[in-house]
Amino acid sequence: MVILGTDGQAKEIQCNGTDISERIAFEEELKKSNERFELVMQTDSGSIWDLDPVTEDMFLGEGFRKNFGIKIEEPSKNHGNFCDSIHPDDVKIYQNKVQYIIHNSLDKQWESEYRLIKSNSEYAYVKEKAVILRDNKGKAYRVVGAIKDITLEYFYGELEAIEKEFMEGSMNQDAKLADLLLNYLSNLEILFPSMKMAVFKVIGGKLQNFATPSLLDLDDLDFKDFELTLNDGIEIGNSFDFLKNEVFISDIKQDKRWDKLVEFANKIGVSSCCSLPIFNSDGKLDALLINFFESARKPRDLESYAIQKSQRILSIVLTKFQYLENLHKSNERFTYVNMATNDAIFDWDYNLDEFHWGEGFYRIFGYKKGEEINKISEWASFMHPADSKVTDKVWDDFVNNPVENSWHKEYRFLHKNGQFLHIEEISYMIRDESGRPLRMIGVLRDKSDEKEEFYLNEVQHEITKNFKKEVELKEILHAVLKYLSAFSNLLGGEVWLLGKKGVEINLLEGYWTDPSPKWLKDEVYGIGRDFATQVLNSGTFTEKKNLSEGTRYEDINPELFTQVKSILGIPLFQNNLKVGVMLLYAKENITLPKDCKLFFEPVGKLLAGEIKRKQQEEEMRLLFNSAPELLSIIDPSGYFVKVNPSFCKVFGYCEEEMLTKKFEDLIHPEDKELSIRKFSISEGLLAKNLIIRYRTKAGLYRWISWNSSDEFGEEGLVFSFGHDITEMVALQTTLDNASKLSRLGSWEIDLENDKLYLSATTKEIYGLPLDSSPGFQEIIERFLGDDKMLVENAIDRAINQGEPWDYQLLISLPEGQERWVRSIAQAEFSNDKCVRILGSIQDIHKQKSNEIELAKNNQLLEVISKVIEKFLLVENWKDAIEEVFLLTSKTVVLDRIYYFENHVDATTGTALFSKKIDWYQEKTNNFKENDVYQNIALTDYPQMISVLEKGKVFIAHAKELSDCKLKSTLEEGGIFSTLIIPIMINNNFYGFIGFDDCTSERQWTDSEISFLLTITSNLSAAIQRSNSQLALQNSSEEKKCHTREHW
């Protein structure tokens, strides 16, 4: 510093110096160090980083880009990029740890392991080491670190641990191969998350799914479909690549080998796969290892390494388990051979008359030690008496014949439980040099199962054979019960069937052997009925022993219990539907099969099905024979199999004659081509209102409208039904001929002079005076409804475009009537301009009306066919009546339909009738005794009843009737017009059905009356069938009542 004197002049300069050499040297060294660090960060491939913990500025070495593909930016952004590259499951843990060490501890370094996401989406396992620089207060001001890729070390370590666990588990004596594989593959899938693994095992010459851990939680995945598709037509012996070599499929959706499995691949979310064969010690394919990948790519290096190792390890483990399994089977085979055999081995010393029996004797026949055969004289007591008589003489001859050694016989042998088993004896007699018996070695083999299977087939065959007979159900059941009684040496049997209402069980048929006392079947009736009900309700085979225990009938002859030792109850069910019960009455249970339940249950199922089929067949036969329509059954070759009486009546042939003819044999030659095109059983073409001419035996032709069903039965038969429409066709022909004589008029529109010219016939058709001159608009106004606009548009197109027309139109006449006409017109042009329109008009009213009527008649025929079909397809006509009434009402437009049934007052004997069904507005009501219109005397309505009793149709309009009860009834019901048809059963007036019109005084047409008569006729046939069934049921009820009175 400068020191001044008093005069203000500088006198001296004083200096003070400090040595800063060390600081300058340090700063220079630090600068060089930073420059070196920056150069290292730029040039070194190592993953080194430098972090400012305050600003979080971070320098990343070039190794982050080279090794992991992490983008290196300016320091302020690098820290964020680095954290974003850490695996989502690891980043939070890593950040919390780093923050704590830097800011909440005095540690100067740390080590950590985590996963980094590489730019190719793979995960890298890394190990990080970092050094923390702190000031004298312990505050971190700089952190420098480096990370090392330890992915290979990690995967090799994890893979080794998984393999070790798998191999150690396979050494466990109780280990199950499937569980081991699921655990092994699951661990590999955790190690490689984007890969799904599966093992398919060769089982029964096919590849089958054995272990698929990642697919077990897919509820909607049917893995069996995958297996079947994979193995479609592929046997293990075939030389397919994926069964012999390693195969990689880069894109499942594009590879033809997977064309059937694209949907499967989509479900499990995979795009590519590779498969490796696993061979056993014999070099044969034992299993297949399949690896699926989520994206269309090849296995990565580590995945490929793990897959190859898995193939080798799986081969070792599978071979080991196969060896152990074969060894286990071999040991078991020897251990259990004697326990499983059906042979009772014996050794008989002829001279000492002593028997030695193997363990099989006691196991097969149920005896204890000491109860076996000890002497040859005891053998006969163990045989069935009938078999013992047969073998006694043969045995003596065998023993005394010195050259006979082999003995082979089949007979029944007594079991401890009292039953006889079917056995086969194969023995060998050892003789001395002179031929005298010394010793006999033999076996008794239980053949009961084999024999009873044979007998079961024989019984089923006999039942089927009986049901093929063209006789009534009762006669068939009698024959079946007789056969079973003889077959098992029974007292007899009964068949109880459930009634039509499904409530009460009825005895349909019984059989008792001749030696049985006459009183037996009556005495056993009550017990049988209760037991049959019990069996039917339980639905299971039941054997009732000790009949006297718990019996509720005090008056039963006690001798019954000595005659009947047991009752077998066999439920008769068809597809889980109750049909009935068969009861078999046994004298001694020793004559029954070894397992009665196992033997008789299939018999019951067969019998139930045959009974149900026979019942339906009898009901169908009744309906078939009583139907007024032409019904027939045709086989695939076109021959008639069956025709009904109505068919024979119309065509004059007997049924036997018709069965020798084909459907096409009677067709008119001109109609055959149409029939072939419209009806062919072989080509599946069904007849639908096929109208053709059919020849009678007299050589005449009848017009028939045919319809047919789908094929039914094993023979492919077709049910066809026809309606005779000869009279209707004749009427149509007459109408067609008459239409040819209809009138035809002409007309002209002169457009140049604006004039309309009408011929005299045209004026007559329009109902105009001959001297009239109507205008164009007046004629246009005569066309009704849409026809007016149709004609106006036709005239416009004729004028502008020259289009002709030919229309059938409806016009109005001056008196308010309507008439169908045919209008034909053609425009005339001159110099490209329409100058006139020339046309004709024809009165086609009769022809058109007949066409409409014919269309309506065809509709009636179709409805009749449907009604016939409805009644044919139900057992109870009431089940179809609502649909029949609905079809009838819609076809002829009715407001109400009702059905009355006649009956007699039990007290007074008065003839009455009561309403049973009332249909209106698409609703059906069934009436009870306390409803209206019940118990009405026939004499209250004499006008109506007198007509109906004669089998004639009664038609009335309410306002035209004189004052009477019928008139009041109609007016009270709002009925303008009614048509009533009697229901005749066996030519007796059974009831009637009424059809009402509540809107107008209807004029019933002939076609409508014919249609309603046909509906009523089919209803009568259905009622007759139902009554026949009811009569059969009442017959059973009378029998029961008779039995109760006897008690």
Could you tell me if residue 859 is inside a domain? Answer: no
Q: Could you tell me which residues are beta bridge partners of residue 662?
A: 639
Please give the Cα distance from 512 to 518 (Å, whole number). 9
Say which amino acid occupies 851. E
Could you tell me if residue 858 is inside a domain? Answer: no
894, 888 in Cβ contact below 8 A? yes
* pLDDT cut 70: percent of the chain above it: 85
Those residues with Cβ within 8 angstroms of residue 899's Cβ, 6 or more apart along the chain or in another chain:
881, 915, 916, 917, 918, 991, 992, 993, 994, 1019
Look at residues 593, 621, 649 and tell me which one is the last residue of a structural domain. 621
Residue among 682, 485, 500, 502 nearest 586 (CA): 485
Please give the average per-residue pLDDT across 617-628, as a whole number.
80
Q: Which two tokens stand for residue 80?
A: 């964020």
Could you tell me if residue 971 is inside a domain? Answer: yes
Please give the average per-residue pLDDT across 855-863, as a whole number.
76
Say which amino acid occupies 879. D
Range of the domain at 128: 25-149
H/E element, 250: none
Could you tell me if residue 288 is inside a domain? Answer: yes
Residue with the two structure tokens 């019901």: 973
Q: Are residues 182 and 315 in the same domain?
A: yes
Please give the Cα distance from 568 to 541 (Å, whole number). 8
Three-class SS of residue 977? strand
- The number of angstroms, rounded, from the C-alpha of 341 to the middle of its chain's C-alpha atoms is 43
Give the model's confidence band at 311: pLDDT under 50 very low, under 70 low, under 90 confident, else very high.
confident
Q: Are residues 407 and 472 in the same domain?
A: no
Give the model's confidence band at 582: pLDDT under 50 very low, under 70 low, under 90 confident, else very high.
very high
Look at residues 149, 171, 193 and tell me which one is the last residue of a structural domain. 149
Look at residues 621, 646, 664 and tell me which one is the last residue of a structural domain. 621
Q: Could you tell me which residues are beta bridge partners of residue 543?
A: 568
1007, 891 in Cβ contact below 8 A? no
Q: Are residues 440 and 546 in the same domain?
A: no
Q: 843-876 in b/e burial notation, b at 16+ Cβ within 10 A?
A: bbbebbebbebbebbebbbbbbbebbebbbeeee
CA angle 761, 767, 768 (to 5 degrees): 80
Q: Are residues 1020 and 878 in the same domain?
A: yes
Please give the Cα distance from 32 to 988 (Å, whole number). 133
Could you tell me if residue 739 is inside a domain? Answer: no
CATH of the domain at 391: 3.30.450.20
Please give the Cα distance from 406 to 109 (Å, whole number). 98
DSSP class of residue 589?
G
Q: What is the mean pLDDT of the chain?
A: 81
Which segment of 97-106, 678-687, 862-871, 912-921 scores lowest on mean pLDDT?
Answer: 678-687
Q: Are residues 910 and 963 in the same domain?
A: yes
State residue 321 phi and psi, 5-degree precision. Answer: -65, -35
H/E element, 985: strand 977-985
Please give the average per-residue pLDDT across 636-641, as a whole number.
89
Q: CA-CA distances (angstroms) from residue 725 to 278, 654, 730, 732?
A: 78, 22, 9, 11
Please give the average per-residue pLDDT across 102-106, as a whole number.
89
Could you tell me if residue 700 is inside a domain? Answer: yes
DSSP class of residue 526?
H
Is the model's pLDDT at 337 over the cut of 60?
no
Provide DSSP, 658-672.
HTTSBGGGGB-GGGH
pLDDT digits over 367-414, tens only? 998 899 999 999 988 988 878 888 887 898 999 999 999 999 888 888
pLDDT digits over 115-146, tens only? 898 888 888 889 999 999 998 888 988 999 99
698, 666 in Cβ contact below 8 A? no
Q: 380-397 in b/e burial notation, b at 16+ Cβ within 10 A?
A: eebbbeebbeebeeebee
Task: Answer with the residue of higher pLDDT: 248 or 31.
Answer: 248
Q: Are residues 419 and 313 in the same domain?
A: no
Count of the separate structural domains present in the chain: 7
Q: Are residues 547 and 495 in the same domain?
A: yes
Q: Are residues 792 and 828 in the same domain?
A: yes
Q: Are residues 37 and 56 in the same domain?
A: yes
1010, 628 in Cβ contact below 8 A? no
pLDDT digits over 1007-1036, tens only? 888 889 988 988 888 888 888 777 777 776
State residue 681 phi and psi, 5-degree precision. Answer: -70, -40
Burial class (CB in 10 A: 0-12, 13-18, 19+), 136: exposed
Please give the Cα distance from 525 to 533 (Å, whole number). 12
Could you tell me if residue 477 is inside a domain? Answer: yes
Q: Are residues 494 and 615 in the same domain?
A: yes
Q: Are residues 295 and 375 in the same domain?
A: no
- The alpha carbons of the chain give a radius of gyration, in whole angstroms, of 52
Max mean pLDDT among 493-507, 518-532, 901-915 falls in 901-915
Say which amino acid occupies 838. L
CATH of the domain at 229: 3.30.450.40
pLDDT digits over 17-69, tens only? 666 666 676 566 555 555 545 544 443 446 888 899 888 899 888 888 888 88
Neighbours of 722 (CB within 10 A): 25
Please give the Cα distance from 776 to 758 (Å, whole number). 10
Please give the Cα distance from 291 to 742 (Å, whole number). 87
Q: Are residues 127 and 179 in the same domain?
A: no
Could you tell me if residue 864 is inside a domain? Answer: no
